[in-house]
Chains A and B, each alone.
Chain A
Amino acid sequence: MKRTFPKHYPTSINAVVVSRAERDLPVQSYIPEVVRGVGVSMKHFFINLRDMLQQNRPDPVTERLDPGISTISYPEQKRPYPDRFRGLHRLTTRADGSPRCVACFCCSTACPAQCIFIEAGEYADGDKRRGYEKYPVKFVIDELRCIFCGFCVEACPCDAIRMDTGMHAVPYDSRDQFIYPKDTLLKFTDRAGKTQTENPRHEPGDASHPGVNREHPHY
């Protein structure tokens, strides 16, 4: 029968020559190799046994390259999330505790999963923000639909929505528990425990308020 494939594969310049084990007598007789294999097993066994007896296992995060067991026993131990981890959303607050959100719909428009529902409302008569801003009567995020892309945070012009809580989505029993209303989102804090941000909010009427106001000549 004619050979379809060449017996020796053509070698290219960047081919890596893998050295095969010599099939000499020690290898073929199998016994030295068995002893070596068992020796490797024993090395791991004794390292881990000593760590276990001394209650001195390598830390799974800070000493993760050490030989030994690097298991994180999850509910008791947790790997800290990195600083830029996108966790559950939170709604940041102003100094008076009300949401910074102005119900502009930028986040819900940007959201590819369409998981944000906002119902906008006017401030009451006499409120200094009336006519300048709206506020969210309802602000609901369906965390089951959310794909944690972070587009809502990027889209927000007021720094009102953030994903810096450091919390991952918790498993619940039923789907409606994953629908977070405004009050829940307002209660979440960043990892330092704060609900506000370092970025100051300029209220209408403040000297630093960048926008137009009613005393503006064009008004």
Chain B
Amino acid sequence: MLTGSLVLWTIVKIAIIVGFVFNLAGVLTWVDRRQSAMIQDRVGPNRAVVKIGPLELRLAGLLHTLADGVKFFFKEDFRPPKADRLLFGLAPMLALAPVVILLAAVPFGDTVCPGSLWRVLTLDGLEKTIFPAVGRYGVCSGEVGSAVGPIDLQVAPLSVGILFVFAIAGQGIIAAAIAGVSSDNKFSLLGALRASSQMVSYEVTLGMSLIGAMMIYGSVRLDDMARWQGENAWGIFVQPVAFFLFFTAAVAESKRIPFDLPEAESELVSGYFTEYSGMKFGMFYLSEYMEIVTSSMLVVAVFLGGWQLPFLHRDGLTLEFGDTVLLHQDIAHIWMTVFGVVAFFGKVALLCWIQAFIRWSLPRFRYDQLMKLCWKVLLPLSLANIMITGVVMLALDKAGTGAAAMLKTLGHVSQATVAVGLAYALVRLVVWFVGSRDPQRWIVGSAATRADKAGGTKTTAMQA
């Protein structure tokens, strides 16, 4: 039943996740430029400026993204004379649409119980608002006074879950193929051929590597997967090989370096979207960055615990190892919901950032190496992963209660590892940023002497 408030909730959910993906995709174009500059000891683009009176806003180069968008809209929308009119216009839409559609099945937070977000109590004639905590197990069981019922924080709580995501993500191939064929350009056609064969190949690995995870989680729904990981251990610990396979295949799916054969600039100008300009090119460009975000979302949901944080459950903080509970603290449901959403989006952003590092660190594969990697390495490994997962699961099932208790403790140890690792990394980072550079002065030659006399070459404050 679609009641008024359900429609409202759905609109809010769509606004949150689509808004996040579009904005992060925009920010990623900036990250790609600026981060690459800093990896390569360059300054990077920082010249786009908005002048408000005496104030010069540069925002560390963020405005270049804005300037790019404005440029895309005002550029000539060129179409080659012999291009297929209908398909040429259709391709960018087909590239962008599936990336947006597959967001419907991605959960970005735990199920919300609207009745338990806050309650207004009347005590001794005084009205008081309290923020209650909910139970750890049983989604919103025993909830009273709620008109809506539990709200899943995903746009469409489909029972097919990740299968829907794969079905929709696979449509991106059609866009690349159509763009290449309709452009009437040899380079575009070659790029489209490469893109479609690469994406079809890697999609097999993408799906196969997940089967082991699905077997362990016992579900194809992404929110069920995240919930299992919160109670037991994150997917990266139970399926480490699958994590690497899936991540590799996901990077390959987004057609970025080291898998950017379809748009290899040195050989194919820019591959299947060579002939596109203006906002049509902008849509391909944006969809490429959105694919990074969505693939990161999938990796987070399946392997990095989704919205879960170590030892934080629906009811609050529970520090436990095996059956011994060291510490328990109830935390209000509304806070847990906020933590979950922030944790999910934070993990996605972190993974996108790491993908940008991979893009700027690795050289491109040769095409035969690319295919060999997929069919001769990744696919057999993912098949072997399924077999081994099945055998181990069966053995653990037969092993009895002792093994189950040990597994539970190991799961909690893995959660502790994540918590300690994150805390350590954070402390290291903070200490690093508080420290300062140890400058080594090299006053050699008359130019350096002159600069030294003038108090350094920095005449004005360094622009970010």
**Which residues of A line the B interface, CB within 8 A?**
31, 34, 37-38, 40-42, 44-46, 48-73, 76-84
Contacts and interface: CB of A to CB of B under 8 A. Distances in A.
B432 A82 contact: no
B439 A55 contact: no
Given A51-B437, A69-B43, A31 B244 contact: yes
B445 A82 contact: yes
A59 B462 contact: no
B16 interface: no
Given A45-B38, A48-B38, A80-B454, 14 more contacts: A41-B360, A44-B39, A44-B40, A50-B433, A58-B437, A58-B439, A59-B451, A61-B451, A62-B451, A65-B440, A66-B437, A69-B42, A80-B457, A84-B446
A78 B41 contact: no
Contacts of B43: 69, 71, 73
B447 interface: yes
A44 B357 CA distance: 11
A11 to B, nearest CB: 30
Nearest to B440: A66
B244 A40 contact: no
Given A41-B39, A63-B442, A68-B437, A34 B361 contact: yes
B459 interface: yes
A62 B457 contact: yes
Given A44-B39, A45-B35, A56-B437, A80 B450 contact: yes
Contact of A62 (B39, B456, B460): B456
Contacts of A79: 447, 451, 457
Given A38-B357, A66-B440, A79-B451, A48 B41 contact: yes
B324 interface: no
Contacts of B460: 76-77
Contacts of A40: 361
Given A59-B457, A69-B41, A53 B433 contact: yes
A55 B461 CA distance: 8
Contact of A77 (B357, B442, B459, B464): B459
Nearest to A64: B442
A4 B50 CA distance: 66
Contact of A49 (B38, B42, B362): B38
Query: Chain A CB within 10 Å — which of B38, B457, B460 has the most?
Result: B457
- On chain B, which size bracket covers the interface? 35 or more
B358 A34 contact: yes
A52 B437 contact: no
Contacts of B384: none
A66 B439 contact: yes
B75 interface: no
A94 B459 CA distance: 35
Nearest to A37: B361
24 contacts: A31-B244, A34-B362, A41-B361, A45-B38, A45-B39, A46-B432, A50-B435, A56-B436, A56-B437, A59-B458, A60-B457, A61-B457, A62-B443, A63-B440, A64-B442, A65-B440, A66-B437, A66-B440, A69-B38, A79-B447, A81-B450, A82-B445, A82-B447, A82-B450
Contacts of B463: 73, 76
Query: Chain A CB within 10 Å — which of B60, B445, B448 has the most?
Result: B448
A52 B38 contact: yes
Interface in B1-44: 35, 38-43
B39 A80 contact: no
A25 to B, nearest CB: 13
B452 interface: yes
B379 to A, nearest CB: 16
Closest 3 CB pairs of A and B: A80-B450, A83-B446, A48-B38
A107 to B, nearest CB: 26
Given A38-B361, A41-B361, A44-B40, A61 B440 contact: no
B82 interface: no
Query: Chain B CB within 10 Å — which of A53, A73, A81, A83 has the most?
Result: A73
A30 to B, nearest CB: 9
